[in-house]
Each structure stands twice: as C-alpha cells, then as structure tokens.
Chain A
C-alpha cells in the first residue's frame, strides 16, 4: 500500500530511511518543517534525490553565482538564455542561435564504462533538444588513469565505444575532444560530454509549465527500474577501496529511441504544439515535474499510475526516482493533444498524458486515486540546502610550487631522445585509435574535426558557422587552480581563434574532489574565480555548465579539472584555417612570446619521471586577445595555424608535419629545452606564403603580436629541428604507437 499524505499526517513517528537516501538530519528536519508533517515515502524520495549534490548544487551554488555577475552579452549580441536553463543560447546572426553545454558522467562511467559514457552523451543531447534546437554535434573530454594500467584497458575502450555508439547512432558528428592520462584519474575517470545545437531565434523553448488546464505529457521510452538512486548513489558518493564491486544499478541507453525522440520532438516544435518542455535526466520525474512546475505560474497535478512502465512492480517512489533514459516531458494545450499524439505515433514514440497544470501552487501526485505527494514545487527544485563549505589553501601547495621544473636537469638525455619521449608521451600521442570510432562526417556540415585543434560546423548555406574547442590541463590546475582554469579558458579560446572564428561564449564542467575536503573546495573556489576573471577580461560570458564533485578514490582526489568549452562564430566557413601544414615552400612563423616555462609540462612529466611542480606558465589574456584580433582580421593571409599547447613547439611542428605527410625545418632560437618543449601560452605556429610575408608581418605589427619566422615546409619527408634530423616515419611511428599498443596488448 502506498504511503499517502493522509497516512503521513496520521503517523508522524514512523522511522524514515533519510540517512540511507543521503540526507543529513537537519535536511530531513527542514523537509518536515516545509510540509508541516513527515514526508511520505514518495516525497522523501523526491527531496532526497533533488537535494543531492548532483541536482541541488548545494556545495557549489554560492560560488557559481559569480558567473551571474558577468555581462550577459557576447561579442555577437545578447544571450537569449543563460545559466539556469537546460543550456545557454546565444545569437550568432542571420536569425540563427546556437546552444551548447558540457556535462559530466564520471562515476557511472567507472562502474559501467560503455553504458555510463553512452548515457552521458544521451543526456547532454536531450538538454540541447529541450531548448528547441536541432542537435548538430558532440564532443568528448576524457580523463583516464595511466595508459599502461590494466584498469585503463577496461575503462578506455568501454568509454570510447560508449561515446561512439551513442553519438554515431544518433547521427551526430563528433567534432573533437580530448583524452588525458594521469595517475589520479585511475579509479576515477572523467567523461565530460559537450552537445551543440542550432535553432532559429523564434524556436527557443523554455522549461516551464503554464496555462491552467494544459496537459502534461510524458513521451519516449517507458520507465523501468534502471538507475534508481543513480543520482544520489552514483554521483554523490566516493568509491571505497573495492571500487566497482559495489555495482549499483546503472542506466542502459537506447540511442535508437533517442534518435526517434529527437526527430519526433523537432516535428512537435515545428507543429507548434509544445508550450513547455523538459528533458528527463538525473532524478527523472522528480526533477522534471518539480522544475517545470516551479518555473511556471501555477501548480501541477500528476497521476503517476499512468506512467508507462516496463516493470509493473515498481513503487511510486521508484517511479519518481527512476533515471530511465530517452524520456521527455511536454506541456501541451488540451486542444493540441491529438495532434501531439499523431506526431508521436508517426515516429513510433509512446506518449501518455499523465497530468495537467493547475491553478494552485502545489505539485500534487496521485497513485491510483490517492495522494502520495503534495508539496510546494520550488522547495523541491530550487530551495534545497545551500552550504558554505569551509575551504582553505592547502599547506602542501607552497612546497609543490617551490619545486620548479625550470630547475631540473636539461641534459638528462640527449636532446634527440627527449624529442622522441615527448612525441611518444601518452598525453601527446596520436588519438586516432579513439577518434576513428566516431563518425565525424554525418549531417554533411563538418568543416573541421579531428585532428584539427577545434571543430567547426556549418550552420547555414550562406556559410555561417561555429567553431568549438574543449580544453583543460589538470596538471597545470594542480599547480595553481586559478591560473589552471584560466589556462583552460585561454587554450580553448586560442584553439577556436586559430580557425579564424571569433570566440564568443563559454560553457564549463568543473570536476573536483570532495567538497567536504577544504583543499578540494579551495581548488574549486579558485578555479571559479579564475574563470570569472578570465571571462570578464575576454568578454565571453559563461552560458551554462556542470559541476562534478567527489572525484576521488579514497583520500586521493583527482587533479582539479575545470574543463572549458569555448564557442566561436565564423561568417564564412569557406575561409576557415586548418592546422595542417601547407604546401612546400611556405614559411612557418611563431606568434607570441616564448619564455623559459617548463613547470607542469609534458617534458617535465616524461623526461623527469612524472615531475609535477613549480608555477604554471604565465597567463596573458591581453596577448590572447591580440592573437584573436590578428586572426580575425588577417586569417585570409595564413595558410595554416596551429595553437601551441601541451608539448610546446616541437609537438605543434611535428604533428602538423605528420598529418600533412610533409617534411619541415625549424630553427632553434635560444635555450633548446625551453625552445622545443616550453609551454608558454598565447602562441600559434602559422604557415605563410612567402609572397604575402611582408603583408603578414605588417598585420602582426599592427596588432602588436610578436612574430618570428622559424622555419619552412620542406620537399620530402625529413624533419629538421635545429641540428637534429629525423625521418617523418620515425616520428610518426613514435607518435602513433602508444594508444594502439596499450589497447591491443
């Protein structure tokens, strides 16, 4: 028998399992205060799941507010929707808008790598869809333990196959991402998925339930017992030492269903039959009903027993918590319901009216005629607990900062050997084994994708397009989270700018250890400050994002990983700049200032046995902006552009040579280790036709960007770096081998 509200009022002293559901005593007491009685089992389920860290942002809320202080405009105009919506939306001109967002699915991906990663992609795509947009692309930012660890051989292939299967089956091109390895990610991989969609301004849809008498329709997959408690159990608890042995239930994705859901939903939008819409993700129906109702102007009444189930034994509280994938909820005027149902039938998508918008201010949920939930929806969706977690700069950081990599021996190995080490480093090596599993061609609008440093998608036939890059170097963020976040931002910004697009907006995914650990909390707070200050300086608002805490195995937290996605706009995709080395005879120019900066570098990691210490390279956002100004104005003059990132100049030069299958010659200027492997920011390696070199030089001078000619593209396949000689074959063998070798061993 269901625990009704009447029953709850009559039995105030019943013991309730609030602790097992992850609630703290004072949180439980607050629920009792709000309701003026004990919660029913269903209410307890709703509050516990909605007040979990993952859904309520209880530890991060006070800090995330700082993003709200940033101006709500991009260099291209007003934001059409910002933080607080399923995903931010911005105007890109010609009547078009784009929406994009990054989200994490870290813990589920450790438990079941394939399904965890797959449903991560599914979830972010539904967020994009819920804004009224057609999803047009995905990206994935991945972190694993050391490449040679047996568990990485379980997790990596599963995650990649999961991201691939789901995205491929949805028909969304994967236009980029990253994969990094670090010991702190073993036992705690990160799977951050980015989705991007496009829409006409007038197609914008928001998640709210308004209009008394309007129907609430649940459509898509049936509801099952998978992922019950997934939100609170999977996302808010650290794994104990025995890791996946604990194996809670996970969600299984059905990308085919989601593809039908996308096409069906877009047709519903086009027919104008949707008044409000919300995707079902974490916390399932608990989240969708309470969020829709609290964002609307009335209440909501749901008859929960109408929910189509695939397991008839589910209790009402289980139904409310189920995280079954591929479901959406829409608010529809009564007169349009038939039309709504017809479109769903065309796509073989099951749809059921499960309730309606009421003129009260309560969310009431019935189960076979009896009321099991009667709550003010805002108290579930938005008025969750807010914590001011203590944070403190950890003591160890001074020691770490003092241990500068600039002081390490630079001749520990012959220079030539050091080049090969860096090119074969797991964090530099070729990612083809991964990216080959992703369809980058579908939809026919992919202008740039891997191995380019940013993805680019054509939005309309006039050539309007967007470019995207997602970046973060957690090792650098470990040295200094404020600067680390700014480096992530600067790198994504630079990668977008290198294509010729103008960077305009940011989405972020903040992956950190336990917020209950003051050091991890300090890293989190610093990263946000770094991002906010950086975004203010660059004029790029944060349009949305996600926070993932408790990324730690036992006491060991991951290196802080504030992943940043930057979106840029380009007026004519035909003018985009590729990072592939241009034709023989082109000059190569190094833009920006190179300093003696080796701390946190790949070089320190692989030449000095995992060394991680010192201070991050200087962040110079003014210089990044000057690069953008130069590239926006003069990208027509360059034949190629490659941002300098992890691995420094040597990597930029060698990778673009390997990809183009052409030789290259680069001079050595200054101290060799810093020159080849230093990771100073705000730098690009560009290819210039000698015929326009003078004009190019003038453009660099005008924008005050330091520019030196450092080399040329060679006929043949030798690579000459200073006095060092390599064959392209040797370098490419070293660079291509590590991931396939580890995965196929």
Chain B
C-alpha cells in the first residue's frame, strides 16, 4: 500500500525538497504543493516542512498560516487527514491552532543544529505507531525558535491525554516538560521540532530513525484502506 503525500512549499520553505525526497524513498508518491493554491486535491497526507517561511519574521510560522492553502489544510486536518508539521511546520500548526501552545526563541537565544536523542512517548498517532513505547530514537534538530511553551492547564491536558509524542532526553532549547513533539486529540496531526526527513538516507544521516514516521503512515493508510 502506498499513498500520495503532499509537501507544501511556502515562500522561505527550505526542507521541502528533502521532505519530498524522503517521502519518495519511503515508498510514497511525492506531491509538491504550492502555498498559493486553494486546495490540496487528492493527497492522502500532508507534510508542512521545515524552513523559515516568510523569513520567520514576526513569529516563526505566523505569516505562513495565512496562505490560501492553509485554509484547506486546516479543514482537512480537522476531518482526520494525516498532517505532519516538522520544525517550521510545527510552528505553523501551533499558529493555526491545530496544535496547542507556541514555539518561542530558544532559551539560550542561539540557533542550534545537532543530532538529538528523543523518547517516543506515544505510539497512538498516525505518525508514531511503528515505534515502540519508550523507544529511544535519534533525529536531527536545527532551529532557533524551538522552545515549546504552553500554559499550565494546556500542559496538564497534554500530559494527561498522553499527547506528548516525543520528548527530549537532553533538552536543547528550554522546552517545557522537555517536549519535542505533540499531537492533537485525534492523533492525526503531529508536530515536532526535530527533522525526521533528514534521517532516511544513511549516506547523509547519522541514523535512519526517521523512516519510522513514514512506516507509521503506511500502517495507518493500509488500516484505513482495509
């Protein structure tokens, strides 16, 4: 079972080509999507890639959220379509209120690029079901505004509902509760700061743990099809 996975290019998206390549290497049909279009047409899932959409001016992800295509993505996500927001994509998802909380400047105020160790904390999502509970994975991290914040109540809900999907083992940026990635109630929308699309090809990646995200999607899509 394969599927069509769309990757959105906003002005200033950078990892869109990488995401398309990862999608293809994991057996899906890659579909480039342009932020200015009105609909995403017939894709089975959407990735909002990393980068600096609109230069990250104002707040990371804040301006991309108003792209015409986002209106359609928000609608489809609310109806259950799988959406993965990576880094800047995670920021866009928070700004769009598809995910709670916000991403702010790293506590040390520097951009940081390193290989990050994460714990998989929930396997009940479209994008993490191929991992095992508590599995340690290694995924590339690179951002300047990856510091996850939310009010106390939101944090409580996220923890109680086990919606923290990935947690840092060595918090790189000051994120509350060491949060690296979260999901919505339904488990179809996942956002995380690390970059699984960079961990697919062993020639250029320190690990291939990113493949687990795509294997999870495959599982999900074949279950839906069955």
Enumerate chain A interface residues (CB-CB to B < 8 A).
161, 164-165, 168-171, 254-257, 259-260, 346-348, 435-447, 458, 573-574
Contact = CB atoms under 8 A, between A and B. Distances in A.
Contact of B203 (A170, A255, A442, A573): A573
B52 A256 contact: yes
A256 B204 contact: no
A436 B173 CA distance: 13
A256 B11 contact: yes
A445 B203 CA distance: 9
A446 B205 CA distance: 9
A10 to B, nearest CB: 49
Given A168-B111, A256-B54, 16 more contacts: A161-B111, A164-B111, A256-B12, A260-B11, A346-B36, A347-B11, A436-B113, A438-B113, A440-B113, A441-B18, A442-B15, A444-B18, A444-B21, A444-B198, A458-B203, A574-B203
B110 interface: yes
Contact of B51 (A171, A573, A574): A171
B113 A256 contact: no
Nearest to B18: A444
A439 B17 contact: no
Nearest to A574: B203
B54 A437 contact: no
Contact of B52 (A169, A436, A574): A169
A654 to B, nearest CB: 21
Closest 3 pairs (CB-CB, A-B): A256-B55, A171-B14, A444-B18
B97 interface: no
Nearest to B115: A441
A477 B59 CA distance: 46
B18 A443 contact: yes
A12 B209 CA distance: 75
Contacts of A260: 11-12
A440 B205 CA distance: 11
A256 B17 CA distance: 17
B142 A255 contact: no
5 contacts: A255-B52, A256-B52, A259-B52, A348-B11, A437-B113
B12 A165 contact: no
A437 B112 contact: yes
Contacts of A437: 110-113
A259 B12 contact: yes
A487 B18 CA distance: 38
A11 B12 CA distance: 52
B195 interface: yes
A436 B18 contact: no
Interface residues of B, number: 31
Interface string B136-149: 00001010100000
A437 B172 CA distance: 12
Contacts of A254: 55
A287 B17 CA distance: 35
Nearest to A457: B204
B17 A443 contact: yes
Contacts of A168: 52, 111, 142, 144
B56 interface: yes
Interface in B50-109: 50-52, 54-57
Contact of A255 (B36, B55, B110): B55
A75 to B, nearest CB: 25
B44 interface: no
Given A164-B111, A168-B111, A436-B114, A444 B17 contact: yes
A446 B15 CA distance: 13
Interface in B108-167: 110-114, 140, 142, 144
Contacts of A170: 14
Contacts of A348: 11
B178 interface: no
B105 to A, nearest CB: 12
Contacts of A255: 52, 55
A169 B203 contact: no
Contacts of B36: 346
A169 B56 contact: yes
A439 to B, nearest CB: 5
Q: Which of A169, A254, A255, A435 counts the most B-chain CB atoms under 10 A from its CB?
A: A169
B11 to A, nearest CB: 6
A445 B52 contact: no
Contacts of A257: 55
A445 B204 contact: yes
Contacts of B22: 444
Nearest to B55: A256
A259 B11 CA distance: 8
Contacts of B197: 444
A221 B80 CA distance: 41
Nearest to B51: A171
Interface in B194-224: 195, 197-198, 201, 203-205
Nearest to B197: A444
Nearest to A171: B14
A441 B140 CA distance: 8
Contacts of B201: 444
B203 A447 contact: yes
A541 B103 CA distance: 49
A221 to B, nearest CB: 12
Given A168-B52, A348-B11, A441 B203 contact: no
A74 B36 CA distance: 45
A171 B203 contact: no
